[in-house]
Amino acid sequence: MSGQQAAAHVPVMCARIVELLSPPLQAPGSVYVDCTLGLGGHAEAMLTACPEATLIGIDRDQHALALAGERLAPFGDRVQLFQARYDELPDVLAQAGRPLVQAILADLGLSSMQIDRRDRGFAYSVDAPLDMRMDDTQPLTAADLVNTASTGELTQMLRRFGEERFADRIARRIVAERASEPFDTSARLVRVIESAIPAAARAAGGHPAKRTFQALRIAVNDELVALTGLLPAAMDALAPGGRLAVLAYHSGEDRLVKNALREAATDRAPRGLPAVPPELRARLVLLTRGAERPGADEVQINPRAASARLRAGERMIEVAA
């Protein structure tokens, strides 16, 4: 993918995210953090809408950072980019000298570049090496998992990360097939998955390998562990009045986001206290009512947006007792 192709990419729910995150970014010196920079689409829109703001862009994928850097070059020294996993946010902010910031976005899941690059092995629709690493310098690949995990481990992985109801059948078939020859490409794995799923189920509910590939990707990249670390770190990094927005694409991610934001938006004092001590007051006020979804027009233009769920909150301004 070229820099021009990256610039043509339309980010998910971009107008709504700009609307949610722009208010605290109007003051000189304000900082916007994009924890999943990808191809830089959200970042470009935010920097354009908020000319006083600077960007701290984070991505674990060095190839995405290079393309985003090309796209964001016109913004000059308003942009700082870091290769890191998003739960390393405190270290990045310390390195940037900005422990508190005004707005943070995390657009979870895969970037379009990762899906479209066939050699990365994320797509079940093309034959490619079983890789699936967002950071291709890390050692563990999807092939490693498929070829070494036990039947029980694979079953648990497919159930937890893919919500695959035929997890046990698929896991047993994978283990049986790899005994004769290890898996190294996606096409053979897809065939094995299809053969493990009953014909009636294969005919409904989308591609039969979708949930297995999702589960492998999440496991290879330790995505839910990273998200669990990111959410409290992001809330700690918000200045008073700062805002956090998160785009999730499957129920496991969204459940973690929903629970973390709801907990932060709830007083922690025992019932019956005449007043809530400052240290037990809610830290956030929710900006979205439930999860917001993209409109039909956006989904028609960008089908990959169909599963997106957007939640956001604002760090409360502490009031003196």
Burial 269-284 (b: 16+ CB within 10 A, else e): eeeeeeeeeeeeebbb
Burial 147-176 (b: 16+ CB within 10 A, else e): bebeeeebbbbbbebbebebbbbbbebbbe
3-state DSSP call for residue 301? helix
Q: What are phi and psi of 33, to 5 degrees?
A: -110, 125
Contact predicate 111/65, CB 8 Å: no
Return binding residues. 40-42, 59, 86, 107, 114
As a whole number of angstroms, the distance between CA 137 and CA 150 comes to 25
How far is residue 76 from each of residues 70, 80, 92, 220, 253, measured CA to CA in Å?
A: 11, 9, 19, 35, 34
Q: Residue holding tokens 């932060």?
A: 264
As a whole number of angstroms, the distance between CA 219 and CA 54 comes to 33
Return binding residues for S-adenosyl-L-methionine. 40-42, 59, 86, 107, 114
